[in-house]
Structure 1
Amino acid sequence: MGLLADMICNLKRGWAVWVCGEVSSGVGCYLLHRREGGKTEFCPDVAGFCPGVAWILSLFGRGLSRCALNWEGLTLRSGAGYFGRQAVKIDGGAGELRSEVGRVSVLGDVPRARARGELQYASAGADQVQFQQQVQLCPVRSAGFVSGATMIIRRAVRIGCLGWCGALAYKEPLMAACRYCPPPALKREIIMKSLSLFVLLVTSMLVSSSHAADKSPADQSPADDRPPQVKAVQPGVTLSLVAEQPQLSTPTGVDVDEQGRVWVVATHTHFRPDDYEGPEHDEILIFSDLDKAGRAQKRQVFYNATDATMDLELGPDGWVYLAERDRILRIKDTDGDGKADVEENIAVLESEADYPHNGLEGLAWDNQGKLIFAIGENFAKDWTLTGTDGTKITGAGKGGIFRCTADGKQLKRIAEGFWNPFGICVRADGEIFAAENDPGERPPCRVLHIVEGGDYGYERGYGSEAHHPFVAWNGELRGTLPMIHPSGEAPCGIAPLGRGLLVPSWGDHSVDFFPLTQQGASFTSKPITIVKGGRYFRPSCIAADPKDTPHLPESGKVLTWYLCDWVDGRYQAHGYGRVWKLEIDLTKADWVGPLELEPPTKEAKLAADLRSGHATQSVKELLQLAQNQDPFVARAALVALSHKASKWTPAEVMKWSPAERVQAVLALQLAQAEPATWIPVFLKDKNADVQFETIRWISDKGLKAYLPDVEQVLAQSDLDYQRFEAAIAAWNTLNGKALDGVRNPEMLLARVEDKQSAPQIRAYALRMLPTQSRSAPKAGQQVVTQFPKGLTLAMLEELLAVNDAELSLEAVRTLSGNPIVSQKILAELAADPKQDSVLRAEAIAGLAPQAEQQIGLMLKLADSPDQVVREEALRCLRSIQLTDAQKKQIKTLAKAHPDSKDAFEAAVNPGALKTDRPALTDTSAWLKAVEGVKGSADVESGRRLFHHSRLTNCAHCHRHSGRGNVVGPDLSSLGDRQDRAWLLRSILEPSREMAPEYQPRTIILTDGRTFTGIRLRSYVKETIRDAHGQNKTFDRDDVEAIVESPVSFMPQGLVHALTDRELRDLIAFLESHSRGQTAD
C-alpha cells in the first residue's frame, strides 16, 4: 500500500515524466558497457513483451502513447547510434558526444546533448555506465495515469524490472544479441516481476482516475525544462518563487489582497493551439498560505468563464475587475464558497477586431476611486466603447486610456495616440504612468507620463512603415507628447516605487527601476536594472502588496511586489507560467533614492491649471504658451485653446501671425470644429506649416469631401517636399489606402510619368519611390538598391531631357542608387561641361562606388576650371588607392588651382587629415577651426557629403528630406535645435550622448556570428534593423546572447575623413533645414 500511496501522491506533483534506468553489471539487461580497444559497447536487450506492455499502457492514456512516439529508438552498434534525432558517437578515453541536431557542451568527461529531452553519459566505473533519459510529454487529459505509471517504473527499475522502462522510452523494441544478456532463468524472473507490477499499475490507474477531474489542466504541462536563470543585480533585492507550472500557465494579470493572497489570471485562450488540452476558458486563481520559502501551499480557482483575459484588478466591496479583449467586467463571490457567482459588465467594446492583446487592457485605480483602463490599436478597426449609463466613445487606430466610475458610469477618454499601453499605474499624488509596447517598425517601447487630453502620437491606421508624416512616437509632431524614457522590450506592467517606477520587461528578461527626475511639467529618467533573467524569465504584470506603502518612508521597511512570468517566448498558450515575490530592503537598496514624492514644479502646476478647463489666460497668452518648449505645457495650452475655439471666426484668425495660425489649426481640430468653415481657408494660407497641419487634419479625420482639395495641393508648382509627402499620405488615406502610408508605388510612378505635372512634383514622386527591400539579403549577399518596378533607365533619361534643375538632380540621385547599371549615364553627365555644375557634381558623387573604374575621368575632372566639379572629383580620388604617378599628377594640377589646396592635399594624402587636429573631445577647438574657414559655407556641398557613399555615408542610417534610411533619427528638422556646438559634438563623439531608442544591440549566435542593429521585436524570434536599414530575423534557439552596445552606428572619427571646409559645409547643410523650411 505504501507503493500505491506513493503513486497517488505523485499525481499531485504534476506532469513531468522522468524515466530512469540504472543498471549494474551484475543485474542488467538494459545497458551494459565495457571497453575494448578504446571503443565503448552498449548492448541493449529488451524482451519481446516490452512493446506489448507499451501498447497496453497506451490504451489507458494518450500521454503514454505520445511518450512512445516522441522517440525514434536507440540502436548502438560499434559505439555509434541514434538517439531521437541526434547522432551519437562515444569513443574511448574521456568520451565524446557528437550531435547532428542541437548544441553539445563537454564538461569534464560528461558529454551532454539537448534536443527534446536530455541524454547523459557519466562515467560510473570501469565496467558500468549510468544512463539517464529525460522524456518530455505533451499535455494530456489522463495526466494521472502517466504519473501513476511513472512511479511504477521508478520502483520497477530499482528492483530489476527494466523492460518497462524501455517500453515507455522507445517506440520500437531494441533487439540486439549480446554476450552480456542475462541467462533465461533471470529473464523469466524479471518478466514475472514485471507482470506483477503491471497489475499494480492498472490498479493505480483506476484509483488515480477519480482524481483527474480535480486536477488543474495546467498539471498536464511538460516537465520544467525552462530554467529562469534569474538573479538580483542590485543590493537589497530578493526574488523568490511563489508558484509555477503546473499550478498556473501563461499569466496576464496579478493583484494582491489585504490578506496577502495573490490573484492571477491564467489564460488558456490566448492564441490557443488546436491540440491544447487546457480548460476551455481562462482561470482566475488565488494563491495563498505562503510558507517560509515563499511558496504558495494553496491554489484555488475563483472563476473560469472568460476568454482573452488581459488583466485583473481587485476592487472595493469584494469585486474583482477583469479586462477581456472586448469588455471590462467585474465578478464577485456572494455566497462565501470561494468562487465567483455574480458577473457584471462595466464597459463593452464593439468591434470587428478580435486579436487578444490589442483590445481592452491595463486596469488601475486612480486616487479618486475611479477605474482606469486602456485599449490598444485594435488593428485600426472601428470600435465603440459603451459604459453602463449609455455613454459611448468611438475610435479606431489611436488606442486610448479611459476613466469611469467603479460601476461603469461617466466613461471618459483621458488620452490617445498609443500602440498597446498594456500596463498602467497611478501614484499616490494622482499622476498616471503607462508602459507602452512599440509598433515593431518604430521602436522603442515607451514609459509614458499620462495627462488629461494627451496625444502620444501613434496612429495604427497609417500602416507599419517606420516613417509617416502624421505619426509621432516621441513628440516629433506638434501637439504630441514625448516619452519619459524608452523601456525594455515588451513591457506589460508598471508599478510605483517612491519617486520612481518598476517596469518588468518581457523581452529583455529583466525588471528595471526608473527613478523619475522632474523636468518641466513632466519627468525624465535613467533606468536601473534590478533583476535579470535568462531566456525563460519573461516578467509581465506586477502588483504591490497592499500592506506596504511605497510612497511613504519607513526605516527598515521591506517592500513587496508580485510578478507574473510568462516563461516561454511563444505567444500561444503553452502551459508554462510562474509567479515571483519581489522584495526590496530599503536599508540596503540605496539605488531607490528618496521615497517621499516631490511637490509639483511650477510648469506642472501651470499645465494642470490649463488642462482643468478653468484657465484664466487670454487667447493671445494661450497661443504663446502653445508654442512653449515644454511639450506638456504646450499641449495643455492647446487643450485650453480648444475650449475657446468655438467663438473664433476665420476673419479674426487670419489676422494672427503664421505661428499663431498653426496653433489655431491644431486647436480647432481638437475642438471638433466644423471643417467646412475652416479647412478651405487654411488650405489657401500661404504658410507651409498651416497647410501641412490642415492636410493632417483632413487625413486624420478621413474627410473624403476634401480629396479634390488635396489633389489641388499636389498640383501646386511651389510645393515643398514636406507638404508633398503630407498630401500623398492624405491622398492615400482618402482613397482607402491609408495603410500604404506614403508608399504607393503605382500612384507615385504615375506621377513621375505625368508630363502635365510640374517638374518639381515629378521629382518629389521619384524621391519617394522605394528603392530597397526592408528585409535584409541572405548571408554573403550585398545590400543593393534597385529601381522600383516600372522605372527604367530610359525613363530616367527622359526625365533628364526635361532639363529641369530639380527633376534632373532627383533623376541623378536615383541613378546613383544603382551605379553599376547607371555608370555610363553618370559618367557622361559628369564629363559634359554644358551641364550645370551642381548636376555634374551630383553625378560625380554618384560614381564614387565605381571610382576605381572611372579614375581616368576623375583625374581629368580634377583639372576642371569649375571649382565645384573639380573638388567633387578630388573627393572620389581620395577614396581610392592611387599610384605614385597619379599622386604626382594631382600635385601638379594643384599648382593651377590654389583655391582648392585643401582638397588636393586630402586626395594625395588622406591620412594627413588625422594629424595636427584637435582631440575629438575638444569641441571648442573644432568649433573654432570650422568657424575660422574663409568664405561662405556651401550647403549643396554639405548635402553631397551627407549622402556620399565613401566619405561619410550619413544617409546609410539617417533620413533627411525624404532620402536615406530610418535607422537613426530623422535629421530633417535638426536645425530647429539651433545649437551648433551640440551638433558638432554629436559628430565628434557619436557614442557620448546616444539616445536610448537608437542604442544598438549585438546578437551573438550559437555559431559565433554576430549582428548589430536596433532591436525591433523579441519573442520566439529576434528582429533587428541593421545599419543598412533592413530587417534581420533570428530564431531564438540560434541566439547565444544579446548585448547592448555602447557604441553608436555612427563611426568614431568621421571628421578625420573631412577637411575643415567640408565639415563646415556639412554642418551648414544640417543647420539649414529646420521645420517649415525645405531642403529643396
Structure 2
Amino acid sequence: MKILSKNAVLALQLAFLLTLWACQQPTADYDTLTEDEKRLPENAVLGLEAASGLQVKLMASEPQLVNPTNIEVDDRGRVWVTEAYNYRPALNGNPTTDAGDRILIFEDTDHNGTLDKQTVFYQGPEINAPLGICVLGNRVIVSQSPYVWDFYDDDGDGKADRKEILFQGTGGEQHDHGVHAFVFGPDGKLYFNFGNECHTLQDREGNVVRDQDGDEITNKKYRQGMVFRCDIDGTNVEVLGHNFRNPYELAVDSYGTIWQSDNDDDGNRGVRINYVMEYGNYGYTDELTGAGWRKERVNLEDSIPLQHWHLNDPGVIPNLLQTGAGSPTGIVVYEGAALPAVYRNQLIHADAGPNVIRSYAIEKEGAGYHAELTELLRGKDRWFRPSDVCIAPDGSLILADWYDPGVGGHQAGDQTRGRIYRVAPSVSEYQVPAQDYSTIEGSIAALQSPNLAVRYKAWTSLVHRGKEAIPALEKLFHSQGNDRMRARALWLLTKIDSGDRYLLEGRNDDNPDIRIVAIRAARQAGVDLVSFLMPLVEDSDMQVKRECALALRHVTDSRAAALWAKLAGQHEGRDRWYLEALGIGAAGQWDSFFDAFLQGNEQPMNTPGGRDVIWRSRTEAAIPILTRLAVDNRETLESRLRYFRTFDFMPERSRSDALFAMLTDQSVHGALSVNGVLFHMLDPEKVLHSAPARRALHAVLDSLAGKAAYLSLVDRYDLVSEIPALSQMITASASPEREKALGLLFRFGATEQIKAALVAVPDSLVVATGTIGTENAVDLLKDLLLSPASPAKVKMLSAAALGRTERGEEAVLALLQSGAVREELIPELVEGLQNTPRVDRYTEARRFLPDSEEASTGIEREKGAALTSEELLAASGDPEKGSTLFQTHCALCHEVNGKGHDFGPKLSQIGAKLPKTALLDAIVDPTAGISFGYETSSITLKDGSELMGIVSSRTETEVEVRFVGGVSRKLMAKDIASVENKKVSLMPPLAKAMSKGDLIDLIEYLASLK
C-alpha cells in the first residue's frame, strides 16, 4: 500500500467532508437514479426506508472506510470499525494490501451527526478480515480467526500500544463461520460465539481450553457452532450452547438472557432467532452421531426449514422465530429510551441478505417466548448490506453497511465502498451524554446507559469502589419502575457482597425476572443451590421454574433428584421449552432423577406431561414404558413416531434389544406399519441373521414396493436380492424414486440390467446415468457409445451424457484422443463438456470438432462471456424463457419451489438476496462465491475408485455424498481412503455456454424468485 503525503491525506479528508455535506442535500427520487448514481454516497439515504418516527443519516462512507464487518460504539460516542479489504482474494481475485486490514475510530467532533475525524487504531498484516470488535475502556478485543486479539491503548491517544493473544485455534483464517464479536454482560463476564468452521478453543499458549465440567472444548463433546461465557480475563470458560451453524453475533439483556441469530444452509429458508437456553443443543446436526439434517430419520419434521434444525428430536431447543431466507449479522437488545416505544427492550437485528434491519417484539410464552417481526429500516438499494448494529450512548442506533452486490459468504463484489449510518427520531445532531465515573453517583447513572461501553466503565468503577458503592446500588435496586435497571444493580450487589443477603432478596422479589437474576447469580456465586432453589420449585412463574431446572444441571447433591422430580411433575405436556430445561437439568444424572420422578408419578404414561418426560429421558429405566407407548394402537402411528425416535438416544445395547422385541407378526393389525418404522432403526446385521426378522422385512418391502421408503430399506440393508424390482422401477414412469433406484443398481453392480433398461427407456435414464460418476456408470456409457449393437439414439444420448462428471470428462478426452469415436458423435461428445467448471477440458475437446462446429461454438460461448453488468441492467429479459433455461441448465443441481434436484443451494428466494449484477457474478464465476457447506469434495475409496460430490453428512461410521443430479450415496468410513475438499465449485460457468440474450432471460427469472 502506498504511503500518502500529508497534503494527499488532507485532500482526502476534504473530499470526504464534501461528500458528507452533499449526502445531506436534497436530491432526486431514488427510483429515477441511474445505477451508477444509486451507488454514490450522496444518494445513500435515498436508498433506505425508515419506519415511522425514525430518520436515517449517513455518518461516514468511502473513501474513509471500506468493507466494514463489525462496529462498536464507545462511551464517547466514537464508532470503531473493523475492515475486511483483504477478504478472500484467492477466491475473488481482488487486490490486497500487505499492510493488512485496519481497525478504525471515527468521531463526530462538531456534533452534527457526521463522523469527520478518522484515526487508524491499528493496521498490521496479521489483521486479516476480522469479524468482531469489543471496546472495554482502553482494551479492545478483536475477533479474527484463528485468533482473538487483545489490544491496549495505554496512553489514550487512539492508537494501539500493545497486543496479546486472548484465544486461538478458532478455525480457518478469513472464514465467515469463525469466531465473532465479544459482548460485555450484566454479570461482568464476557460472552461470545463462533461458527461451525471452528472445532475447538485454545488459550494464549495453545492449550485446549476446558469447559465448566473440566472437559476439553472440542467437537468430540460439542457439535458445530458454540456460545461461550468467560471471566473478563478469559478464564473460567463455559460452553452455554452448541450445534449452531453460524451465529454471527449474540446479545445479552440486563437479566442475563442470551439471544442470537443463526444462518441456515443457503436456500433452505431456515434462518432463525434463538433464545440461548444455557447448556442447550440447537440441532443443526444429529446430537449423538453428528449426521447432517438431510440424513433420513424417524419422525422427520414436515418441512425443510424445520428438518434443518432437528426440531422433532428430544434434546433440541425450540427456535424463537424462523425468518426464512437471509444472511443474519449483528444483533442487540435495545434497552434505551430514545427510539419509539415499539423498539424498547426488544431485539434489533441486521440481516444483510434481504437488506433489512428488523426488530423482534418478544413476549413470554410459558417457559419460553414467541416473537413478532417488525421492520425498522429497509434498503431499496439492493447493495445495502447491514453487517452490524450498535446502540450509541444517546440511545440512537449506529449501523455498519458492507455495501456490496453480495453478502460475503466467501465473496466480495466491491472493495471500494462501506458506510456508517445513524437512526434516531431526529438525526440533525449527535450529542453524547457526559459521564462521570469518578463518583459513585456518576457511575450509578452511567450503569443505566443503553450503551455497553458506558456500562462497562460504570461496572468497573463501582466494583473498584466495593462496599462503598452498596448504598447507591441498593437504592437503584429498591427503586420502582425499570426492572432492567434493578437487575443491573442486583448483579453488582451479588458480586460486591460475597454473602447471600442480596441473593435472597432477589429470590423473594415480586418480579419473576428479578427472581431469575437471583438464580443465575446464585449459580455464579457457588452457594448451596439445592437449598436456594427449594422455595422456587413451585413458583407461579414457568420461567422461574425453567431456571430452577437449568440450575440443577450437574448438581450432585443427593437432594437434587427429588427437587427435579417436583419440577418434572409440574410439566403439563404443552411447553417444549420447559421440557427441554428439564432435560438439561437431568443431564448426566438421568437414572437417579428419573427414578425420583417415577416414585412421585406411578403412571406417567397416562398424562401428556408424563409422556413428554419419558420421551425426553435418557435412561434405560424408561425403555419399557417407551416400548408400551410406541406400540399402543390407541394412538395413530404418526403420533407415536416420536417415541420410536427416542430409542436412537438410548444406550445402544438396550435400545437394540427393545426394538428387536417390538417386531410383530404380520397378521397383527398395523404390524406392517410398525415394522416398517423398526426396520429403519434396527441394526441391519442383526436383522439379516434372524430368519423371522428377514421374513418380516420382506413383508414390509412388499407393502412398500415402488415407494421412497422401499428404496431406503433396500439401501440400508444392501439388499442385492431386490435387483429385479429395482430394474422394474427404473423402467416405470418417471418419478423422483427412479434416479435413486438407478443409483442402487450401480452400487449393486447390476450392469446388465441397467444396460437393458437404458436401451428400453433411454431419454431420461441415460442422462441420469451421466450424473452418477462412478467407475461402472462411466464404463457403461462408454460401452453404449462404442457398441455397434446400440441404437443410434442411445449412442447420441450416451455421448451427450458421458462428460457430466469429472471422471466422465476424463473419459471423453481419452476417447477423443484415441480416435475411437465415430465422427457424427464427436459434436455431442464435446458439447457434453460445455458446462464443465474445468474450462480447459472443454477447450481441449473442441480441438477435435470439425472447423465449422468449433467456430460456431466458440462464438456462442464468447457471446455469453462478454455480457457486462451495464448491458444486463439496461436489458429487459423474459422470465418465462429464463424458466425454461433454468430447467435445461440449472435444475440438475438446484431446486426452485420443490422442483429440480437437491444438490446445490436452493434458489426459491434468491431474487430477494441478490440483485441482478450479483446473480451475473455468481454465474460467471461460481467458485468465487461458493457457499459454505456446498464445497466440492474428492473422495478416494480404498479400492482405488474416486468420487466427486458434496458431503452432506459425516459421522464416525459413514459419509453421505450427494452428486450432480441429486443422487446420494452412503459410504462406510472404513472403505474411504481420503476426503479432500476442493476450492472449486462443481457449478459450470454457464456464461460461457449461453448467449447474452439467454443469460439476460435466465437472470430475469432468477431475480423474480422472492
Could you tell me the TM-score, scaled by structure 2's length?
A: 0.48
Between structures 1 and 2, the one with greater helix share: 2
Looking at secondary structure, tell me which structure has more strand per residue.
Answer: 1
What TM-score do you get using the length of structure 1 for normalisation? Answer: 0.45
Q: Which has the larger radius of gyration?
A: 1
With a CA cutoff of 8 Å and minimum separation of 6, indicate the structure with the bigger relative contact order.
Answer: 2
